[in-house]
Structure 1
């Protein structure tokens, strides 16, 4: 019989303990070179699933055959009409519309490097990303054209392709939608871009032009994907075709046993310009020939729930804030989810109360995954055979090495001992744009520094303690915001919560908790503190409580603790 160690002695970890915990059908390794490029993956999928629906949006369905034709026309226009050469950068600035996959795959088929841009950027943010990436071409939704017009005072753009919401909806329906968006809802501020070419005009011209398939390989750059900027300055992660293809195969490795090619229907509420949705919804489900329901405005929860009622989805992805909003919606609670078999949460920590409510309502386990823009993005995922929420971000995905290191850079060898997580694998970026050879900030001995503090148990399950830069220091004790937020969220009157450090002359920093109450809740500061005292040691209990109507978030729903910290400072 194996000798048991006393509780105070940690267990020595092997290099890859997670391999023994992999469920049936999940491989230890994948082939990152199965496809020579994303273009090759696309070509196979549109051939294999030509007559199946690829995307649905605003009641319009686009088949894989049509996606092939439209993206080919756009690629030809970029090559012949705009004279763009492989390796040049093209910015895409639009929400989830049918135009996005057409432009995305058209750009990749032309050999260009895609720069995804958040449509909610200010002119200053847009100008920075355009200038930093060197993008000379942009495809932009008319709603955000005024932002571009202002940004162009500080950046150079040679070509502008301008699209409108209804450009793929047919003449009558498309024209009506465009008129409503512009003149009734007033969603299109006045702008002046005299050199812009209409999206439909570009497709029509491309249809009359010759398309030439470029020579690409795995090392060719596919994306400049800018980091979210939730903890600091946003940088462009250089993601090659091989990086993205590897992560698609890794996703297929861990989720594949649950999925059937040509039969899946996925809900894409996260914007495809975000790397999580880009890889999982945009590329993995393309590989599987799935039907993708594109949600243009995920913040409209009643509208989203209405669309779900008419769509028997098998998969849905999202962030904690989206799932939290859905489980608190009465109409959603009464929906029938008999076809739903896979729910993936990422982008931020999934909270226990949200995961358990989701499983109770839908019958589907909310499988948390963890990733970084720099990793294309998936690094770890909870296995599909997990019984329910366990507080972990899962096990490292196939062909991925993960280690934890201490402040001195030495590897943490014992289970449940915190350390900064570092990653190696075929999905890890080439580096940051403009910083070739300057990898001190991003890498350590060839391992990508994540900036996340984690623990690992004997099976290889990882738990994020928190972002290294978000750590609160109270009288020499480390306080991790996720722990405070988890406790706050367990109160029945709390809808959302975020914890940050605020300056203190006595203890260096105190914990501040910002709370969004549920409608009708009578929760006050005294009751919130009393609740926290039940579950937290004294130095972790928030000294400052602030109630707000909403928390600052990125466009994909990630809470911006940095903004809360900046205001407090």
Structure 2
């Protein structure tokens, strides 16, 4: 850990609340991130590494595929520092492409498979990626988006490439029925290559590019754009290695070679990438890949494979708890869950822990920090409603939202963080980098408080603060009250223009199946629990809320749909 002389140990009260098994500081490796896989394959070659809908890969097999990918990329040629974009759901090919590209020395650009043509083109242009590894179903968008980009090679895979027999034989039939007009042109002139043929080009010889872990980029990870446009976050090998070790040590009861990780969070999102992919591979765990979140399919995987660790988002836990297919004992194998991406309602935490017998705790992070900076202790003393304590080697402060001056304990301000997981900066955005980083400290854009014991509470995004009649309203506080109502399944709150108050509070509600409730009933519920200026003035009932693939409510889209 680097010297941090501007903060005293007494300013880190959270260390006193760490479990005895967690140290305040750890040494972090300084090598290529892909060595996590190489080391686990050396120590646990015959252990299961991946499961994809019934097909398993051992660590020996996974490493062999990744080496072939790395050598095939080198032969294109891909040089150290070149950008390789990956546009895949959770499947074996996503893991192989990721570690193979890192071994080749490339910088990975994870691309959201739901991106529109416009969003994809913007990311490809900004990143300068020369290779894209993509699912065949997404090729119509890619063909339209590649114009005026630096793309030279497109490697196309299909879900059947990772499926077991006979699903791999049946899938193409189903695909032709659902997408009768889908045809991929594999003309060499267009640089479009089949996955299987591309892997055959590469030798299984092990390679792993040497890197300067603190300087060389492993990834350009684009922010989610839930409140604004995406920015490319530069994450070094050292950033991602540090956060992998930090989160692994926090889960100190997890045993190497024995855990089963339910991979429902998308691996193209930095939360899933660190707490699932990198952590599972580091601990030689068995990664249970689910291509998309559907409660019935997830429950089938849980029954078949008995996962022990299930990182997720609150919407996932809510959906499982309310799933008609849920049976007594389905969740009994799960020992620990770390919830992120959105606030975790207390009743969801209590119900999930009661049904699983395991622990469900809330953490916090952001893409710019690889992403995890805070987490509640999984076992022992915790505080529901908080994001917990800063991780080892992580400093945190609450400062004046308009400056960098630290604020007293309990006072609301902006959260800033510092640690080995904090990004190198924004790709091609020096002004944004200068505004976000100062002396190693990162502005998170989130408003919150720290209490005397070092537990932090997030109130809301600075951009989402509602100014109603001169009063500050924090959407999370209102949402928590709405979540407590027995009829409410999901809730989101934002400020909308009001000619008298400046802004007024509007709530968007999704009700549980079979429940009915009126605006008047919700209004009475809120008035009994909130100051009058915080009570929503408008309620809109919906069948669903716009969510990112990780389960975060897209307030930006709600605002776009609401604005006249």
Q: Could you say whether these structures have the same fold, taking a TM-score greater than 0.5 normalized by the shorter chain as the test?
A: yes
**SS of 2:34 mapped into structure 1:** helix
Query: Which residue number corresponds to residue 353 of structure 1?
Result: 347
Query: Which residue number corresponds to residue 437 of structure 2?
Result: 443
1:265 aligns with 2:268: no
**Maintained 8 Å contact 1:137/1:158:** yes
What is the aligned counterpart of 2:151 among 153, 157, 160?
A: 157
Cα distance change of structure 1 residues 184 and 518 upon mapping to structure 2, 3 Å threshold: same
Shift of 1:157: 1.3
**Post-superposition CA distance 1:309-368 (Å, at most 9, x none):** 112111101001111101112433523434321111011111112111111111122111
1:458 aligns with 2:452: yes
Query: Which residue number corresponds to residue 394 of structure 1?
Result: 388
Aligned positions of 1:437-516 closer than 5 A = 439-516=433-510
**Maintained 8 Å contact 1:149/1:192:** no
Cα distance change of structure 1 residues 227 and 438 upon mapping to structure 2, 3 Å threshold: closer
Query: Which residue number corresponds to residue 278 of structure 2?
Result: 283
What is the aligned counterpart of 1:334 among 328, 339, 343?
A: 328
Distance 1:521 1:312 in 2: 32
1:297 aligns with 2:292: yes
**SS of 1:86 mapped into structure 2:** coil
What is the aligned counterpart of 1:552 among 521, 546, 557?
A: 546
Shift of 1:551: 0.4
**SS of 2:159 mapped into structure 1:** coil
Distance 1:542 1:552 in 2: 20
**Maintained 8 Å contact 2:186/2:193:** no
Aligned positions of 1:415-454 closer than 5 A = 415-436=409-430, 439-454=433-448
What is the aligned counterpart of 1:543 among 537, 540, 548?
A: 537
**SS of 1:135 mapped into structure 2:** coil
**Maintained 8 Å contact 1:264/1:313:** yes
1:184 aligns with 2:180: no
**Maintained 8 Å contact 2:32/2:208:** no
Larger deviation, residues 505-514 vs 336-345: 336-345
Cα distance change of structure 1 residues 334 and 261 upon mapping to structure 2, 3 Å threshold: same
Shift of 1:185: 3.2
**Maintained 8 Å contact 1:402/1:421:** yes
1:324 aligns with 2:318: yes
**Maintained 8 Å contact 1:30/1:253:** no
Cα distance change of structure 1 residues 187 and 477 upon mapping to structure 2, 3 Å threshold: farther
Query: Which residue number corresponds to residue 56 of structure 2?
Result: 61
**Maintained 8 Å contact 1:400/1:425:** yes
Q: Aligned pair count?
A: 552
Structure 1 residues not aligned, in runs of 5+? 1-11
Shift of 1:107: 0.3
Cα distance change of structure 1 residues 40 and 212 upon mapping to structure 2, 3 Å threshold: closer
**Maintained 8 Å contact 2:32/2:210:** no
Shift of 1:186: 3.1
Query: Which residue number corresponds to residue 4 of structure 2?
Result: none
Distance 1:522 1:130 in 2: 46
Distance 2:374 2:181 in 1: 40
Distance 2:51 2:383 in 1: 31
**Maintained 8 Å contact 2:407/2:413:** no
1:24 aligns with 2:20: yes
**Post-superposition CA distance 1:39-64 (Å, at most 9, x none):** 33221111111110000002100110
**Maintained 8 Å contact 1:393/1:461:** yes
**Maintained 8 Å contact 2:85/2:129:** yes
1:84 aligns with 2:60: no
Shift of 1:133: 0.4
**Post-superposition CA distance 1:53-92 (Å, at most 9, x none):** 0000021001100011000001110001x11101000000
Distance 1:238 1:232 in 2: 18
What is the aligned counterpart of 1:206 among 202, 206, 210?
A: 202
**Maintained 8 Å contact 1:319/1:348:** yes
Aligned positions of 1:86-165 closer than 5 A = 86-165=80-159
Query: Which residue number corresponds to residue 234 of structure 2?
Result: 238
**SS of 1:399 mapped into structure 2:** coil
Distance 1:432 1:392 in 2: 28
Query: Which residue number corresponds to residue 310 of structure 1?
Result: 304
**Maintained 8 Å contact 1:13/1:413:** no
Larger deviation, residues 332-341 vs 70-79: 332-341
Distance 1:408 1:163 in 2: 48
Cα distance change of structure 1 residues 501 and 76 upon mapping to structure 2, 3 Å threshold: same
**SS of 2:485 mapped into structure 1:** coil
Shift of 1:499: 0.3
**SS of 2:459 mapped into structure 1:** strand
**Maintained 8 Å contact 2:49/2:284:** yes
Larger deviation, residues 308-317 vs 337-346: 337-346
**Maintained 8 Å contact 1:333/1:361:** no
Distance 2:224 2:10 in 1: 33
Distance 2:518 2:137 in 1: 40
**Post-superposition CA distance 1:488-525 (Å, at most 9, x none):** 11111111111011101100000000111111111121
RMSD: 1.9
Distance 1:407 1:206 in 2: 52
**Maintained 8 Å contact 1:75/1:206:** yes
What is the aligned counterpart of 2:31 among 36, 40, 48?
A: 36
**Maintained 8 Å contact 1:35/1:41:** no
What is the aligned counterpart of 2:216 among 214, 217, 220?
A: 220
Query: Which residue number corresponds to residue 173 of structure 1?
Result: 167
**Maintained 8 Å contact 2:31/2:210:** no
**Maintained 8 Å contact 1:309/1:335:** no
**SS of 2:508 mapped into structure 1:** strand
Query: Which residue number corresponds to residue 561 of structure 2?
Result: 567
Cα distance change of structure 1 residues 389 and 549 upon mapping to structure 2, 3 Å threshold: farther
Larger deviation, residues 378-387 vs 484-493: 378-387
Shift of 1:190: 5.0
Cα distance change of structure 1 residues 446 and 494 upon mapping to structure 2, 3 Å threshold: same
Larger deviation, residues 312-321 vs 410-419: 410-419
Query: TM-score when scaled to structure 1?
Result: 0.94
**Post-superposition CA distance 1:440-470 (Å, at most 9, x none):** 3312443100000111111100000111001
